[in-house]
Amino acid sequence: MPSVAMLHEVDPREEILRKVGDLSGVDVFGGDVLCAIYKRPERTKSGIILADSTRDEDRFQGKVFLVLKLGPTAYLDDEGNKFRDIKEGDWIVARASDGWACTLNSANGSTTRDSAIDCRIITDINIRLRVSSPDAIY
């Protein structure tokens, strides 16, 4: 059960993937993983409204990410064997400071703050957990 159940009007995975669009022109190198930062919605399931400043802080301190793209050697050992089955679309957990921040423009070419996707590039060994719901971690 999530520690702080959030009220999602749309599935957060689907919303992020819709905003990201086609990533065929983005190459991730080595063992790095491109992840979108999960940003909590405005309201919890119990009706508590989060302040904009609290929600905006997810850009800097968020710990839950959606895997968008993996580098070619992510989770491969020296012999080329895959040692973890993390894949695109998984919710993962890492320390915010373990990744390099970047922002992707949305698929429709808009560059407004609301259409941008805040991301982290995280080395595979710095990913600590996989969770079924982004609300499982606070």
Domains and CATH numbers, the chain: 12-136 (2.30.33.40)
Q: What is the mean pLDDT of residues 108-137?
A: 83
Among candidate residues 93, 86, 113, 92, the one with its CA nearest the CA of residue 19: 113
What was the pLDDT predicted at 32?
97
Q: What is the mean pLDDT of residues 50-57?
A: 78
Give the pLDDT band of residue 2 (cuts 50, 70, 90): very low
What was the pLDDT predicted at 109?
56
Q: What is the mean pLDDT of residues 40-57?
A: 79
Tokens of 103: 């922002």
DSSP string, 104-137: EPPTT---STTT-EEEEEEEGGG--EEESSGGG-
- Tens-digit pLDDT profile for residues 55-99: 777 788 889 999 999 999 999 988 988 888 999 999 999 998 999
Give the pLDDT band of residue 111 (cuts 50, 70, 90): low
User: Tokens 């009007």, residue?
Assistant: 9
What was the pLDDT predicted at 86?
94
* Mean per-residue pLDDT of the chain: 86
50 vs 53: CA distance, rounded Å: 8
What was the pLDDT predicted at 51?
78
Between 95 and 6, the higher pLDDT residue: 95
User: Tokens 């590039």, residue?
Assistant: 121
